[in-house]
Chains A and B, each alone.
Chain A
Amino acid sequence: MGMALTDLANPTRFLALVARALPWLAAATAIVMAIAFYLAFFGSPADYQQGSTVRIMYVHVPSAWLSLFCYALMAAASIGTLVWRHPLADVSAKAAAPIGAAFTFICLATGSLWGRPMWGTWWIWDARLTSQLILLLMYLGLMALWRAVDDPGRAGRAAAVLTLVGTINLPIIKFSVDWWNTLHQPASVFRLDGPTIHPSILTPLLVAAIAFTLLFVTLHLAAMRNEILRRRVRAMQMVAAQREMPAGAAPVPGE
């Protein structure tokens, strides 16, 4: 195991592993996603209270879970960046941010589309919804920070600190429905006394969660590969720029 992790720290070996794994992951994602959509539209009964809008839950809930999982992964990677300076930690965090932002946006948009017919409103400044919106802003802020600083090393360390500060929002999102009186319903799957959802609805939900997780892993590995290539391009462009610099010219300080 330790040996495997050491091997993965080498970007060249990581790229070779990703090249082998991506086609299988993409195929597995497509198959499980097709099953999830079939179950969502044809296998799931209408809920006795929500009617057919329960089908929105099959994309809303997995997106919400992944929005939190993705940020937790970025936080773990940030520790890897700051403490161990693992060569792939910052790459992992940076590659995950846009994907996490996408899942957070889907969570908010589909929640709004469910809320209009069920609650009678598109949006309310309730603790769960507001903390989830803050998560989206955190993702967008981190993406902006990575773009604002040219040097990937400096950008990575600054983003790692900001990511770790932002982890305070994760328990707030998770427990907001318990700590405050919210319009958003409390947890119904991850509970100490077990899920409160009927198996006919829980099964499609869990299959959708597996499909979305496979998609996340596929997209994340592909985005990490792009980021490694981007850094190689940058390094080679700097070598080319130094080579083409006129003799006697001094590089600009800080460049």
Chain B
Amino acid sequence: MFGSDPHTGFILASYAVTVITLGLVAGWIVVDHRTQKARLADLEARGVTRRSARGGDLAS
């Protein structure tokens, strides 16, 4: 591969930054999805319904 290259540290650091950054974004999206689903389920359990479930309106 490139074990003898004098710049191996820079190469591995670049891939580490990439994997960690994209991993954090993906992880945040997964956690956010679970959070929103839990909030929706909680509101529905309390009997709160959307004004319209016909779709087409984001806030409906």
Contact = CB atoms under 8 A, between A and B. Distances in A.
Contacts of B5: 46, 51-53
Interface in A112-165: 113-114, 116-117, 152
Nearest to A228: B58
A84 to B, nearest CB: 14
Contact of B36 (A152, A215, A233, A240): A233
Contact of B60 (A42, A233, A235): A235
A87 interface: yes
A215 B14 contact: no
B20 to A, nearest CB: 10
A60 B29 contact: no
A74 to B, nearest CB: 16
A52 B11 contact: yes
A69 to B, nearest CB: 15
A38 B29 CA distance: 27
Interface string A170-182: 0000000000000
A137 B21 CA distance: 17
A109 B55 CA distance: 42
A102 B40 CA distance: 28
Contacts of A27: none
A54 to B, nearest CB: 9
A110 B17 CA distance: 8
A56 interface: yes
Contact of A222 (B17, B29, B40, B50): B29
- Most chain A C-beta atoms within 10 Å of own C-beta, residue among B14, B15, B22: B14
Chain B residues touching A, range: 35 or more
Interface string B20-48: 01101110111011001101100110101
Interface string A213-231: 0010001001101101111
Nearest to B36: A229
Contacts of A223: 29, 32
Interface string A52-86: 11011001100100000000000000000000000
Contacts of B53: 12
Interface of A: 9-13, 41-42, 46, 51-53, 55-56, 59-60, 63, 87-88, 91, 98-99, 102, 105-106, 109-110, 113-114, 116-117, 152, 215, 219, 222-223, 225-226, 228-237, 239-240, 243
11 contacts: A11-B57, A13-B55, A59-B18, A60-B14, A116-B10, A223-B32, A230-B36, A232-B40, A233-B39, A236-B43, A239-B51
Given A117-B7, A239-B48, 17 more contacts: A10-B56, A13-B55, A51-B7, A53-B5, A60-B14, A63-B18, A88-B58, A106-B21, A152-B58, A219-B29, A226-B36, A229-B37, A231-B59, A232-B40, A233-B43, A234-B59, A236-B49
